[in-house]
Structure 1
Amino acid sequence: MSTAKAATAADGLSVDDGVRMLLLLMPRMVGRVKRIPVPAELQTLALAPRHLSLLSYLLFDGPLTVSELARRLEVAPTTVSLMIAELSRREVVVRSDDPADRRRTIVSITEHRRPSIDAWLSRGARAWRKTLQPLTPAQRKLFVDTLAAYEREVLTELDA
């Protein structure tokens, strides 16, 4: 083993080795996540990834305003309003006026859909919690920041 290889092995992975491993890991991981069965009562709703992100926020953080959902999802409020309208017609979410400010709309998951959505999305949450638990807060931040940077780079490559 060369000195460069020995140093890399002692410190972790070389960039090329990391890239190689991730190029093999990511398709497997995505494939396995896609195989998580959608609960029968949700299958006819044709939920898209954009809906899952919105539902995840509502499930884990509780009812939110349209503007807060837009900020978190990094999309325009009109886009969130359209998604909410779709989900509302399918009786997945319900809109209500904010009692503190009637101009604002609060969105929440309907009570009859909550158990199915919770059972479905909590699988991923449990896997992430188990994966992230042994890491330090700084390591967790680095991991999340790295995934976000990867997403940005993939988008940059697609736009090029």
Structure 2
Amino acid sequence: MTARQENEVDDMVRELLLLMPRMVSRAKQIPVPEALRSLSLAPRHLSLLAYLLLDGPMTVNDLAGRLRIAPTTASLLIGDLSRKGVLERREDEADRRRRIVDITPAQRPAISQWLAPGAAAWRTALGPLTPDQRRLFVETLLAYEAAVGGGPEE
């Protein structure tokens, strides 16, 4: 890398180091709906709920794969949310050995209300980009996550 390229990268690093705390702060300001406040939901729950809200009911293994966590970890999260009345598990009609996980009808409106502002903001930010630019953006965030040593299981 040339000195000019290093300076350009450093300029972007500086900008991102200033931007990331502001983004996290703004995301934390999204109010948790009253119906969910007493449930002590953590970021790991938010990701799981986002998949179910956006993609619909799925199996424990499907959720684990999307979250990039072990099925046993996914099962623990699902069990925790089931006990809190957030999720329900039912038999898969196609294969009664499998369990399908979904958000309970009672909690769906509150979860949708909670996740909607973030989803709308991402749609606004990503909408003008080409599919290749969107993919590059997501891959860059994943590379950053890996470089700082954080992962979905940590």
Q: TM-score, normalised by structure 2?
A: 0.92
Aligned with residue 20 of structure 1, among 4, 14, 35: 14
Deviation at 1:103, TM superposition (A): 1.0
Question: Greater Rg, structure 1 or structure 2?
Answer: 1
Give the corresponding residue for 2:74.
80
- Are positions 1:139 and 2:133 aligned together? yes
CA distance in 2, matches of 1:47, 1:153: 26
What CA deviation, in whole Å up to 9, does each residue of 1:13-37 have, x standing for no partner?
A: 8101000000000011101111111
Q: SS of the residue aligned with 1:135? A: coil
CA distance in 2, matches of 1:104, 1:81: 12
Q: Which structure 1 residue ranges, 4+ long, deviate > 2 Å from structure 2?
A: none
The AA in structure 2 aligned to 1:47 is L
Question: How many residues align structurally?
Answer: 147
- Are positions 1:117 and 2:111 aligned together? yes
Deviation at 1:122, TM superposition (A): 1.2
Percent of aligned pairs sharing the same letter: 63
CA distance in 2, matches of 1:139, 1:85: 37
TM-align CA RMSD: 1.4
Aligned with residue 128 of structure 1, among 104, 112, 122: 122
What residue ranges of structure 1 are gaps of 5+ in the alignment?
Answer: none
The AA in structure 2 aligned to 1:34 is K
- Which is bigger in relative contact order (C-alpha 8 A, separation at least 6)? 2
